[in-house]
Amino acid sequence: MYCICCKKDNVKPLGPYSREKISEEDLLWKKEKRGDDTLTINNEMIDNGIIHIIDAGYGSSHDGNQLIIAICDECIDKNLDDATILFYNDYMFTDKTYIEESVDKSKQIYRRRKNLDNLTDGNS
């Protein structure tokens, strides 16, 4: 799938796509009921980035829309470094020190960027 930042087709679903010969297109729009759960692209292994379904909340001109987006690992790194993307949590690892330090770093970069934007835009 194409990265939302660099526009390169370099984010690839791995999951059953590689085992069961499911096309990338079918995997992106997959809705498979398994027990009480519905499996989607959000449940698949992805190579070189993230593919995820995002929900447009109230206030957006896309209220209620669900959109599939992808971002490659390289663009994630660049966008974390300049606070375009913010670190929120790590659901796989429970090292509280690492998580707290990562959140604090993300907040610090975010604040710095917002303050610089306010200075250069003339807003105080």
The span from the CA of 41 to the CA of 29, in Å, is 7
Lowest mean pLDDT among 4-8, 9-13, 17-21, 71-75: 17-21
User: 77 lies in a domain?
Assistant: no
DSSP state of 51: E
pTM here is 0.83
Same domain, 61 and 88: no
Same domain, 64 and 105: no
Q: H or E segment at 99?
A: helix 96-121
Per-residue pLDDT of 43-59, as tens digits, reads 999 999 999 999 999 99
Exposure pattern of 97-120 as b/e (b: 16+ CB <10 Å)?
eebeebeeebeebeeeeeeeeeee
Same domain, 6 and 58: yes
Residue whose entry in the numeric block shows the structure tokens 């835009």: 121
Same domain, 62 and 20: yes
Number of domains in the chain: 2
Boundaries of domain holding 12: 1-72
Same domain, 93 and 63: no
Same domain, 59 and 13: yes
DSSP state of 98: H
Mean pLDDT of the chain: 91
Name beta bridge partners: 32: 39
User: 50 lies in a domain?
Assistant: yes
The span from the CA of 62 to the CA of 7, in Å, is 22
Q: Which of 30, 48, 72 is the last residue of a domain?
A: 72
What pLDDT score does 37 carry? 93
Q: Are 5 and 75 in contact (CB under 8 A)?
A: yes
